[in-house]
Amino acid sequence: MVESDLLTKIREQYDATPYPHTPLEDSPRENYAALFTHNLTTAFYLREQRVVSGAGKLILDAGCGSGVTSLVLAEANPGARIVGVDLSPASVAVARLRLAHHGFSDVEFHAGSLLDVADLGLKFDYINCDEVLYILPDPQAGLQALAGVLRPGGVIRTNLHSYYQRLPMLRAQELFRMMNLMEDTPGDLEVSIVEDILGALCDNVQLKASTWLPNKMSGKTEGILMNYLLQGDKAFTVAQMFEMLTGAGLHFLQMIHPEPWEVTQLFQKPKELPEFLAMALPELSDQEKLQMVELLHPTQRLLDFWCTNQPPTPAPDWFRVDWSQVTVHLHPQLRTDALKADLLKSAEYQQPFHINRYLQEQTMRPYRVNSIMALCLRPLWAGPQPFTDLVAEWLRVRPVDPLTGLAVTDEAATREVKQFLRNLEALLCVLLDVPECPPQL
């Protein structure tokens, strides 16, 4: 494929400044939130409601840049083979050095456009395309190229800039394009001009107030290049995102960070919504709910989501599930010695157990559970457990109801552990392998 003028500019920008500019020695091993997102177990559980390991899977990092995300993918998916592709040869060279530095050998990198990814002759189980589509001349063509190399039932994680959130930055880019700062590859001179102009503006000037001051970009060359002087930057609405998915033959799975996209969380009393909305909300599609949020409160820079090429498996009907056949897994990224130590400490001091502490980001609220209840999870650090064994563990640690002084019955324990696990499953802290329900008569 002949490289367009815009792709040439993009390649030249990233050749001049490989991105992200992260030291080679930096390791993501303790970045639990990133590992959780990039562990394909997370996405595949959402797609097919079963636990899938990354071992033996083929993963594409499309637009791998300097290999920071490729390293996270390798750390999060032991036994998987990682293939990285990026338009910038300079970035690919850094990516090779990075993965070699951290001891990963089952990886390969290619310099080229993701539009030509079919030329690799490979089909991928999982594709990560982070912060790339929105700078391509034709993002739809990019998404279609990725869909073309996805195995049946595979998953793509990708993102687009949100139009309503990104609009002030797009105005800034237009301003600096008018000043010819983006005609050639921006460098230190152009960065210094941007700093001088924005720094000299009054703080109440809308562009400065909405883009410069909140991010404190002054002195951050990489941040200025990747925002104010980013070649090819575009932004999209939720409706346009779904149009692109349809055009590529893909199905929406979930936003990467779903909590900020919950309509109910925008109201003072989420459980007491205005009557009209309370009646309408259950009937709205995923697209309509997301559109409401982007119109009411467009705070998320990215429309960041998982999608798949086959319709996802519907969530189980928990009232019909045979719980005696359910196997309970702790999410792989939670099976850490640090979290287990936290669990035991919370039980010792009878303090709430903060189960998502190491997954928590700015967009995720802390989730704390009763320390005694949490003790029934302890066997999960040894491996997956039958639901019935966790009920037995619950009866062992809490044989007597503290309010009544009576022995806890098997029925009561089963009911409590079911609800407990369903709450944790909604957060993907635990994953439930559920047997197929019998057909309805």
Give residue limits of the domains in the chain: 5-162+236-308, 172-225, 323-433
The per-residue pLDDT for range 60-83, each reduced to its tens digit, is 999 999 999 999 999 999 999 999
Percent residues over pLDDT 70 in the chain? 96
| Confidence band for 441, pLDDT divided at 50, 70 and 90 | very low
Show the tokens assigned to 63: 């637009």
Give the model's pLDDT for residue 400: 86
Inform me whether the pLDDT recorded for 245 exceeds 90: yes
Of 3.40.50.150, 2.102.10.10, 3.40.50.2020, 3.40.50.300, which CATH number belongs to 5-162+236-308?
3.40.50.150
d(CA 94, CA 89) in angstroms, rounded, equals 9
The per-residue pLDDT for range 180-193, each reduced to its tens digit, is 999 988 999 999 99
The per-residue pLDDT for range 133-177, each reduced to its tens digit, is 999 999 999 999 999 999 999 999 999 999 999 999 999 999 999
- What is the pTM for the complete model shown? 0.92
| Confidence band for 438, pLDDT divided at 50, 70 and 90 | very low
The per-residue pLDDT for range 17-34, each reduced to its tens digit, is 888 889 999 999 999 999
More confident residue, 169 or 217: 169
Looking at every residue in the chain, the average pLDDT score rounds to: 92
d(CA 293, CA 264) in angstroms, rounded, equals 9
Rounded to the nearest 5 degrees, what angle is found at the Cα of 228, between the Cα atoms of 222 and 231? 90
Show the tokens assigned to 133: 């589509």
Inform me whether the pLDDT recorded for 38 exceeds 90: yes
d(CA 126, CA 154) in angstroms, rounded, equals 6
